Structure 1
């Protein structure tokens, strides 16, 4: 039996109602076809129902597949697109899942250790993560410096290949929508989300707090662990 303490997160109906009221009515619907305007207008009636669903998801450590599914919609970059590169892919996800994600984020943000303030969420995507990890590996006084141990050179490529194959098969399913037609939903790497970046930074700055948080209890984002482990092998 694991001796790692786990903090249970319980969501209240008032918290759900507050997040539903913050939804933007003009946003497009996700694969579940639930309009954010409906969620916002019926926040009083839906808060209790969604509260029970969210708490059940947290307790069972399971997330409905439809909540994790995203739909890619090609949006023209200019007036008259002629080739595929003239389109920009936009991923549409469930607004119910976004609401749950924001509720979990509000629980994770206070877990930042003293002296290691979290960077703004919008600055944590893509290259920002790589630069932050590189700075941690070069700073021997950083709390997360000991997390990164170089591997023998002969094992690096094999380890990266194994990890990428394993985690690419466990990511969110995405489908491309054109008019009312959907493609077959393959399992591919999702677009980085605020929860992934925040959890990754907490993971790097405090290995003790992350185990005590709701992160491992809820298993919010599968790609978090994949990104962490892959960066460890690549930067070593």
Structure 2
């Protein structure tokens, strides 16, 4: 199979895999904001990040995030609070890199691969700090 056809098949497979056929939800109006994200929640989310993992599209490693000083923690907290208040996530944070790992040696079919997603470290902090705020 030529390279272009292989890439096209993978593209189709990923689209099928992540296709979302749910109806669009009507946007609710009103103030539904909860409490702001706390610096301690951001610190905890950063502390829990695992070193040595592959970077996402931002090319920032967990080790680099963990080296941030108080100013860096404040900036991330401000960004996450703004996202939380507005509901708008910057496009850069929504990008992911998909990697297909074969489930067994010699796998050639798309279905015989496990697909993982590499995402921005700040997106991971957003998810984890949101989880922390629910506790």
TM range (shorter): 0.5 to 0.7
The answer for unaligned runs of 5 or more in structure 1 is 110-236
TM-score with structure 1 setting the length: 0.40
In the alignment, which residue of structure 2 is the partner of 1:28?
54
* Greater Cα radius of gyration, structure 1 or 2: 1
Aligned to 1:6, the other structure's residue is in SS state coil
Q: Distance in 1 between matches of 2:29 and 2:100?
A: 48
CA separation of 1:80 and 1:59: change in aligned 2, threshold 3 A = same
Q: Which has the larger share of helix? A: 1
The alignment status of 1:105 with 2:125, answered yes or no, reads no
The alignment status of 1:46 with 2:76, answered yes or no, reads no
Could you give the per-residue CA deviations for residues 46-77 of structure 1, whole angstroms, max 9, x where no partner exists? 21110111122222221011212222111122
The answer for unaligned runs of 5 or more in structure 2 is 1-27
Q: Superposition RMSD on alpha carbons, in Å?
A: 2.6
In the alignment, which residue of structure 1 is the partner of 2:35?
9
Aligned to 2:72, the other structure's residue is in SS state helix
The equivalences for 1:1-236 within 5 A come to 6-42=32-68, 44-109=70-135
CA separation of 1:76 and 1:38: change in aligned 2, threshold 3 A = same
TM-score with structure 2 setting the length: 0.64
Q: Which structure would you say has the larger RCO, counting Cα contacts within 8 Å and 6 or more residues apart?
A: 2
